[in-house]
Copies of this chain bind each other. A is one copy, B any other.
């Protein structure tokens, strides 16, 4: 008998990546479609189903697909719905029965859905740096700061399915930066790629300190990384500051669930040579003595290009 396979789908604001995946985490076939060409979900589901059928044929996986896992913004694991996803052109303030619609379009193949950060954590647990770990916290450092929490080998979904919004815990209590969520001082406003660029702009305006960043029109976290590589002092300090704020909050998270490790993932996590030290230092300074030096800080081991698909596919193995 041929082996069972699953499909992983990562729904993003602009594009949706999907792939056929085997039990070892090999992506056998994959494709990308646009997410933002429709204002209703039905035609998007039709596009997606067509793309999936194409890669199923390409991977010679007809009849072998055990399930489909979806990582999507504001995805609710309990209901299979996408709720109030304002960043999706067909999302808005509606409740979309995404898992149900996709399963119908795929001849009843079961579909499981969660948010993108939870999917990333599942991927890391199934194929990556957290393999074999039963207690860890995944922090995704991308445009925003997302999180997926695993306790006792299980994803934490909470009472309503939306647990794990660590990017919106408070990093700066007074006079904190406004966040897209409507609050101020959220961790995400300091430690996302966008947050770090925001710090850079603030600092450049507040002082005359020379920096390679001054010559740039628009600063990205990649620019800061490149400048730090060249020894730019201000850029190096930006990593220290960003890492310290993240480390301080990680200490709080450790006191909550006593994880074996923190797993970092996403664009900013690629700058580990500059982030590891300040994060580790602040984490250990701010955590109770009993955990000092004991909680590992590890980085995603999934191939960047496959990570989103793998994460979502990991969900499907549980179906």
Interface residues as binary, A155-193 with B (CB distance below 8 Å gives 1, 0 otherwise)? 011111111111011101100000001110000000000
A248 in complex: contacting residue of B170, B256, B260, CB < 8 Å: B170
A286 at the interface (CB under 8 A from B): yes
CB closest residue in chain B, given A157: B258
The 8 Å CB contact of A166, one of B159, B173, B255, B290, is: B255
Q: Is the C-beta of A197 less than 8 angstroms from some C-beta in chain B? A: no
A210 close to chain B: CB less than 8 A: no
Contacts of A135 in B (CB 8 A): 158-159
Complex Cα gap A252–B248 (Å):
14
A279 is an interface residue with CB less than 8 A from chain B: no
Given contacts A135-B158, A286-B183, A288-B183, contact A163 B248 (CB under 8 A): no
A289 at the binding interface (Cβ < 8 Å): yes
Stretch at the interface among A54-62, A95-103, A146-154: A146-154
Partner of A255, one of B154, B168, B182: B168
**Bound form: Cα–Cα A173–B260 in Å:** 25
Q: Specify the chain B residue showing the minimal Cβ separation from A185.
A: B286
Report how many copies the assembly holds.
Answer: 2
B158 touches A259 (CB 8 A): yes
A120 cross-chain contacts in B, Cβ below 8 A:
none
Does residue A44 face the partner (Cβ distance < 8 Å to B)? no
- Flag if A181 contacts B151 (CB, 8 Å): no
Q: How far is the CB of A225 from chain B (nearest CB, A)?
A: 27
- CB-CB contacts of A214-251 with B at 8 A, as 1s and 0s? 00000000000000000000000000000000001001
Known contacts A251-B170, A257-B149, A257-B156, A290 near B163 by CB under 8 Å: no
Are A260 and B169 in contact (CB-based, < 8 A)?
no
A134 contacts chain B at the CB level, 8 A cutoff: yes
In the bound complex, what is the Cα–Cα distance between A291 and B158 (angstroms)? 12
Q: Given A165-B288, A286-B170, A288-B168, check contact A158 B252 (CB 8 Å).
A: no
A254 to chain B, nearest CB (A): 9
Q: Does A317 have its Cβ within 8 Å of any Cβ on chain B?
A: no
A255 to B169, CA, bound (A): 7
The listed residue (B152, B169, B173, B181) touching A173 by CB distance below 8 A is: B173
Across the interface, which residues of B come within 8 angstroms of A251, CB to CB? 169-170
The closest CB in chain B to the CB of A161 belongs to B258
A275-308 vs B, CB cutoff 8 Å, 1 = contact: the mask equals 0000000000010111100100000000000000
Q: Name the residue on B nearest A137 (C-beta).
A: B256
A-B contact pairs, 10 of them (CB 8 A): A149-B257, A151-B158, A152-B154, A162-B291, A163-B256, A165-B255, A166-B256, A170-B248, A170-B251, A181-B289
Closest 3 CB pairs of A and B: A158-B258, A163-B258, A159-B260
